[in-house]
A and B are shown apart, each in its own frame.
Chain A
Amino acid sequence: MSVLEGLRLALNGLLANRLRSSLTMLGILIGVSAVILLVGVGNGASVAVQQQIQSLGSNLLTVFPSNARSAGGVQQGFGTGSSLTLDDVKAIANKQTSPDVVTAIPSAGGRAQLTYGNQNWNSSLTGTTQDFPSVRNYSLSSGQFFTSGDVDASSKVAVIGQTVVTNLFAGQDPIGQVVKINRQSFRVIGVFAPKGSSGGFNNQDDIVVVPITSAWNYLLGGRGRNVQQIYVEATSADATSAANAEVTQVLLDRHHISDPTLADFQILSQQDVLNSASQTTGVLTLMLGAIAGISLVVGGIGIMNIMLVTVTERTREIGIRKAIGARRQDILVQFLIESMFLSGLGGALGIVVGFGLARVLPLAVSALPTPVISTPSVFLAFGISVGIGLFFGLYPANRAARLRPIEALRYE
């Protein structure tokens, strides 16, 4: 019996029970579309997170002080040490010792309360130096950034993000205005262009940036001239590991530490963050896929169920076919094709529905990351659905193939 003949038989059998066939197919349809949609959502989340991290600059290294140890040797929280200084920053930026570093900036800050007129806003304060925009991938939409002169002179000037502008100035041009930052008057000299990223991560547009010396002198009282982080810009994303090694060496030398395991600082590259984030979102995608996979299995069980019913119903037909010369494999193939056709068609329709939902759902639910449907996942889902038809069809088909003709013929 040819495959074509088998297909015709299967189609004939399925059309005989249209409602039952379509309901069975629905099970697989839902399973496949769920797999495609949920894996798409997982991938979408992964892409969104990666984009956010990359917008920070993929060639960025961050140096943190090590955890401070109290006298008893008790470890305190991450980055609580105060081992980094402005001189460290200058040494790192030295082209001689670290050729793969473009520049380095210090960062010290915290939360700050801003007031302008009768408006209040709590924002993230960063004290840094003049290279902040290039290292952190910020550009200015108006005004200008402060200069090295401002840093040296501890000028009370500030550059603010778009979120701050929106919340404090309500349509007014903020350039030249004086805002109070923790009750100290600062003049706004520039506004950052929006980074456009939002969502679960820190809002990169909700910032106020001042010279680090001003921050030390007026805003971060009591904490000394302490650098909380050093941002290092490597020449390229590929050069981050070389830059990492150079920065490590410079700091070890400067801090007189010979054993790298005892270093009083830690370096985190954006690549590391990216990797761990992809790992997390990968697990998320896998989990979503697994949940959707369960519904696919349930659909498969539905197919098995209905195929068992079909085999019982058609016992007599099987007997007739065997009497006129059908071999075991002919019967087996007939029912296998039938179940695979059910699941395959259900799978194909599921792909269409999955694509449709991936388009429509983000419009209805804005919190959902835009699903990214990968071609392999589509082929995989289709392949799995056909495979499910094969797997769950095998038992009923085998049962049909093993029927003894005289008993099958006698069946009423």
Chain B
Amino acid sequence: MITLEGITKVYRAGEVDVPALKGISLHIPEGEFVAIMGPSGSGKSTLMNLIGCLDQPSSGRYILDGYDVSALSDDQLAWIRNRKIGFVFQSFNLIPRASAIHNVEMPLIYAGDNRQRHERALAALGSVGLLDRAEHLPNELSGGQQQRVAVARALVTDPAILLADEPTGNLDTESSLEIMRLLRDLNQQGRTIVLITHESDIAAFARRVVRLRDGVIVSDERRPEINEMFSGNAGVTPA
């Protein structure tokens, strides 16, 4: 599904080259739930931008769902983002003037895919349990609800991977659990999820944890089972 080979990324800060990633090789097969962890400055945001096709590597190869995306034009990258990637951001990033349903429809609009657009958006909203909030504006929704709308928007194009960048960073514990359970359920339905976080209890929802430090992978471990920390709530589907 995702294959990174010797990915480097160098930023220029004035006269100095600052290497953010120093040769990352990583393979994420379909259906995996992987958390990328690391302290700030470790390069995890840079990696997330590269995986999300928001930026391009300085060198190395990146294969996403069979597409070599390391050397695509801006518009081709836009197409990949639209069809292959569903984003969930820390700050929700909903369009404030658009209703929940319209926010969810938006990727379909840019895909030029008008077949049952409204129905598909409604279905996506339904899958995150927010059908009754379809016509609400983002600022009329709670943080957790906004993030669920964002998840619905990420899912509506049926992307190859769901890329969640600190999805619980702006949420309280209750809403965080809600979102993480939602992601876990989606993964159990077969969705590939890449989660970027610096909180180990959030990373604990993932089945594989990749740790970054100073632009290199320092550990890559699989867990046999979901962490028991939230066992009291485990198995409860979000309403």
Contact = CB atoms under 8 A, between A and B. Distances in A.
Contact of A330 (B93, B97, B98, B110): B110
A114 B28 CA distance: 112
Contacts, number: 61
Interface in B146-195: 153, 157
B134 interface: no
A323 B49 contact: no
A21 to B, nearest CB: 13
Given A1-B112, A13-B97, A406-B49, A324 B54 contact: no
Contacts of B87: 323-324
B153 A323 contact: no
B75 A323 contact: no
B24 interface: no
A156 interface: no
A320 B98 CA distance: 13
Chain A interface bracket (under 10, 10 to 19, 20 to 34, 35 or more): 20 to 34
Contacts of A136: none
B109 A323 contact: no
B78 interface: yes
A320 B54 contact: no
Interface string A316-338: 11011111111111100000000
B74 A324 contact: no
Given A323-B87, A325-B78, A325-B107, A409 B97 contact: no
Given A320-B93, A406-B55, A327 B75 contact: yes
A405 interface: yes
Nearest to B163: A323
A19 interface: no
Nearest to B78: A327
B197 interface: no
A3 interface: no
Contacts of B82: 324-325
A16 B137 CA distance: 13
Interface string A298-317: 00000000000000000011
Contacts of A16: 97
A325 B49 contact: no
Interface in B88-106: 89, 93-98, 106
Interface in A1-47: 1-2, 5, 12-13, 16
B111 A325 contact: yes
Interface residues of B, number: 28
B144 interface: no
B110 A324 contact: yes
Given A16-B97, A317-B95, A328 B74 contact: yes
B81 interface: yes
Given A328-B74, A409-B93, A323 B52 contact: yes
Nearest to B82: A325
Given A406-B49, A406-B54, A325 B110 contact: yes
B54 A1 contact: no
Contact of A328 (B54, B55, B75, B96): B75
Contacts of B97: 12-13, 16
B83 interface: yes
Contacts of A325: 78-79, 81-83, 107, 110-111, 157
Contacts of B75: 327-329
Nearest to B165: A409
Given A12-B97, A324-B107, A409 B89 contact: yes
Contacts of A320: 93-95
B98 A12 contact: yes
A317 B79 CA distance: 18
Given A16-B97, A405-B54, A324 B106 contact: yes
B100 to A, nearest CB: 14
A326 to B, nearest CB: 5
A100 B192 CA distance: 98
A330 B79 CA distance: 12
Contacts of A329: 75
A319 B93 CA distance: 9
Contacts of B55: 406
Contacts of B54: 323, 405-406, 409
A323 B110 contact: no
B139 to A, nearest CB: 13
B110 to A, nearest CB: 4
B106 A323 contact: no
A320 B165 CA distance: 14
Interface string B64-77: 00000000001100
A266 B97 CA distance: 76
Among A16, A321, A327, A406, find the residue whose CB has the most chain B CB atoms closer than 10 A: A327
20 contacts: A1-B112, A12-B97, A12-B98, A320-B95, A322-B78, A322-B81, A323-B87, A323-B93, A324-B81, A324-B153, A325-B83, A325-B157, A326-B110, A327-B75, A327-B110, A328-B74, A328-B78, A329-B75, A406-B49, A406-B54
Given A324-B81, A324-B153, A325-B111, 12 more contacts: A319-B93, A321-B110, A322-B78, A323-B87, A323-B93, A324-B110, A325-B78, A327-B75, A328-B74, A330-B110, A405-B54, A409-B89
The 7 closest A-B pairs by CB, nearest first: A325-B82, A325-B110, A327-B78, A327-B75, A324-B107, A320-B93, A406-B54
